[in-house]
Structure 1
């Protein structure tokens, strides 16, 4: 388990109460633009600081027929063209380059139906949580990524 864990969020810290709960308006859909790009740039920066260029898929899940997301359904759950073997490549333990990992995160931010955690042993981990919170863990403090 990584020693350093960071929560990355698009939500304004000025709208948190004394217990840290967010009290402002929550836009839980991806903007498909600068905010989404900032999330992906943050992951890339933390992965670089952690010395990670490849991650493994952990606990992959595919949405069922019931859709609760705000985004319209996407064919292939956002996995199209990410794996040479097609969606069958989306399985627990599958190694993927960080670039593919970033596209998986993009798909999760857009609520396309696929979800997983991405890990590189104890060196690095990332997953998208509820309401577009992003959690990144590293075995190093990632000072350069934090300075961004």
Structure 2
């Protein structure tokens, strides 16, 4: 299985242990308006969401399955997404549009989820705007397209593998 960490964080700003050193960098949705403008946040969030569909397109995957789901009730209420989330359950096949919404909600710390398509593809989310994607085949075109948006694609095993 091929596996990558996809982030907005330049690998050149990491120490020898891999810790990111730029303390001025924003790391979550709650920093919109203080460390990051709404426009810059939305652009970055869109790049992450599109990274998922870029890999899916290269692999010919049109749906994923919801493998894990955690919700934080205060955030669900504040983002007004209860109707959408009431239709989600572990094991459910997820359409491309639902994947985009779940990714957005995860990046905004409303939920946490893991998505996959058997042994072909997975998406995991970590803290501080880290995303992990794994595929059963190399995906050079997807990686190139994602890097063209300004995101970094590094070979890395997901810490959220079962």
Alignment TM-score > 0.5, same fold: yes
Q: Which position in structure 2 is the counterpart of 1:97?
A: 95
What do the CA deviations read for 1:107-126 (whole angstroms, capped 9, x no partner)? 010112x2210111111110
The 8 Å contact of residues 6 and 136 in structure 1, kept in 2 or not, is answered as: yes
Q: Which position in structure 2 is the counterpart of 1:142?
A: 139
1:49 is the counterpart of 2:64: no
Q: Flag structure 2 segments of 5+ consecutive residues without an equivalent.
A: 30-39, 146-162
With the length of structure 1 as denominator, give the TM-score of the two structures: 0.81
| RMSD of aligned alpha carbons | 2.0
Say how many residue pairs are matched: 134
What do the CA deviations read for 1:38-97 (whole angstroms, capped 9, x no partner)? 1111111111112211011012112256xxxxxxx3427664454xxx61x211101111
Q: Which position in structure 2 is the counterpart of 1:28?
A: 27
| The structure with more helix, counted as a fraction of residues | 2
With the length of structure 2 as denominator, give the TM-score of the two structures: 0.74
Q: Flag structure 1 segments of 5+ consecutive residues without an equivalent.
A: 66-72
Change (3 A) 1:93 1:74: closer
